[in-house]
Amino acid sequence: MDSGNRQVDPDGGRTEPIAAKPPDVGFLAKAIDAAGLGILAFDRATGDVLYVNPRGSETLRSLSDASRIDALATVTRAVLAQAEVVERGPDDEPRSLAFGDRVLGFSLYPTPDVLWAFFRDVTEKVRLNTVAESLQLSDSLLGIFTALRHELGNSVNVVKTSLHVLRQGLGRHDEDAVRRYVDRSLEALSRVESVLGTLRDYGFAPRPRPRPVPVSEVVERAVLECGRCLVERGTALDVEMAEGETRIVADPASLEQALCDLVGRAGEKARAGKGLRVVVRVENRRDTVVIRVSPGGEDVEAPLHAEEDDLRLLVARRLVSQMEGTLELDGGDSVVTLRRAKGHE
C-alpha cells in the first residue's frame, strides 16, 4: 500500500502523488513567536548558548528586570541540570522557575548534540490557578465557620435561656420544672462537647487508607460506640443488615466516625419529631454497598436546621469522599455509598 501523500480527485478518479514540500521555516518562526514561545538552544557538550529567538530574549530581559537577577544564567543552569536525565525526544514533564513574583514555564527537546528549551511566562496562568484554589479553600472554611457558629450558638442560647428562666423563678418552680431546664442545658452542653470532639478527631486523624473490610464489623463497632449515647437520651438504635458477608473499600476508623456523626444527627431529628428511634440499614447493590441512616417516627422529615450549617454533615461527607464514596441526603435520611471490594462480591 502506498502510504505517501496523494492528491484527492473529488469525482473518485485516479489520484496523483503530491510532491513533498519542505516546511516554511519563516512561517513556523512567526507562529512560534505569535504563541509567545521563547527558544533557547544549548550545545550539549559545552553548555554554551547557541541560539535564542527574539521573543525569548524579550521574556528573559523582562524577568531579569522584575527579579534583579540574570534570568538567562538562571534558566541555563536549570536546563543544563536536566540534560543528563532527559533522553532523546520531547520531554513532557512540566517544569517551572520562579523569578520573584513571576513564573517561567519550560519544556525540553533534546537531540544528540543540541538541547532545545521552549519557554514562556506563565505567571498569569499560575496566578489564576492559585486564585481558584484559594476561593475553593475560602468557601470550605466559610462552610465550617458557619456550621460552628450555628452549632455552638444554638447550644449557648439554649443554656442561657434555661438558666435565665431558672433564675427568674427561683423558689417558685417545682422539682420537675427545674429538672427539665437542667436536662435541656445538659443536652445543649453535650452537643457542644460533641462538636468539639468532632473537631479534635478530624483535625488529628491520619489520612484515611481505604482497604477491603467487612461492612458488618464496621457498622457494629459504630453502633456500639454511638448507641450508648442514644440510649442515655431515650432513643433506640436498630440495625438491619443485608444477608451474606460483604466487604467494602473503606478506612474502618474514618467510616465509624462518619456513621457516628450521622447517627447523632438522626437521633436529634428523631427526638424533635414524634419518634425516638434511629435505623441503620445496610443494602447490597451490584458494585456498591449503601448504608442508610434514618430517623424513625413521624414528622421527622424536615431538617432540624439548614443542612449546610451542620458541621457533622460536612465532616462525614469529607471522610466518605476520601474513601472514594458519596454521602447524599434523601429526605430525612443520610445515604452513604461505598464500593464493594473486588473478589468479595
Q: Which amino acid is at 165?
A: V
pLDDT at residue 68 in the model: 76
Per-residue pLDDT averaged across 63-72, rounded?
81
Taking phi over 0 as left and psi of -120 to 50 as alpha, with beta for the rest, 324 belongs to left
pLDDT recorded at residue 156: 82
Q: Where are the domains of the chain?
A: 23-121, 128-204, 209-345
Tell me the average pLDDT across 171-193: 79
| 201 backbone dihedrals φ, ψ, rounded to 5° | -65, -40
State the cell numbers at 179. 429538672
Confidence of residue 24 (pLDDT cuts 50, 70, 90): low
β-strand pairing of 236-240 with 114-121: unpaired
The string of pLDDT tens digits covering residues 2-13 is 444 444 444 555
Among 159-173, 210-224, 274-288, 303-317, which stretch is predicted with the lowest mean pLDDT?
Answer: 303-317
Q: Cα–Cα distance between 313 and 329 in angstroms, integer? A: 10
- Share above pLDDT 70 across residues of the chain, in percent, rounded to a whole number: 70
Question: Comparing C-alpha atoms, which of 217, 234, 238, 307 is closest to residue 276?
Answer: 234
Write down the pLDDT at residue 304.
43
Which CATH number, 3.90.550.10, 3.30.565.10, 3.50.50.60, 3.30.230.10, labels domain 209-345? 3.30.565.10
Q: Give domain 23-121's CATH superfamily.
A: PAS domain (3.30.450.20)
Instruction: Write the secondary structure of the chain as one string of H (helix), E (strand) and C (coil).
Output: CCCCCEECCCCCCCCEECCCCCCCHHHHHHHHHHCCCEEEEEECCCCCEEEECHHHHHHHHHHHHHHCCCHHHHHHHHHHHCCCCCCCCCEEEEEEEEECCEEEEEEEEECCCEEEEEEEECHHHHHHHHHHHHHHHHHHHHHHHHHHHHHHHHHHHHHHHHHHHHHHCCCCCCHHHHHHHHHHHHHHHHHHHHHHHHHHHHHHCCCCCCEEEEHHHHHHHHHHHHHHHHHHCCCEEEEECCCCCCEEEECHHHHHHHHHHHHHHHHHHHHHCCCCEEEEEEEECCCEEEEEEEEECCCCCCCCCCHHHCHHHHHHHHHHHCCCCEEEEECCEEEEEEEECCCCC
Per-residue pLDDT band for 181 (boundaries 50, 70, 90) equals: confident
292 CB contacts (<8 Å, ≥6 apart)? Answer: 279, 280, 281, 282, 283, 330, 333, 334, 335, 336
CATH of 128-204, one of 1.10.3470, 1.10.287, 1.20.1060, 1.20.120: 1.10.287
pLDDT in tens, 277-336: 889 999 998 889 999 998 875 544 444 444 545 667 777 888 888 888 899 888 788 999
Q: What is the pLDDT of residues 78-101, one digit of tens each?
A: 888 776 666 655 555 667 788 877
In angstroms, how far is the first alpha carbon of the chain from the final one? 51
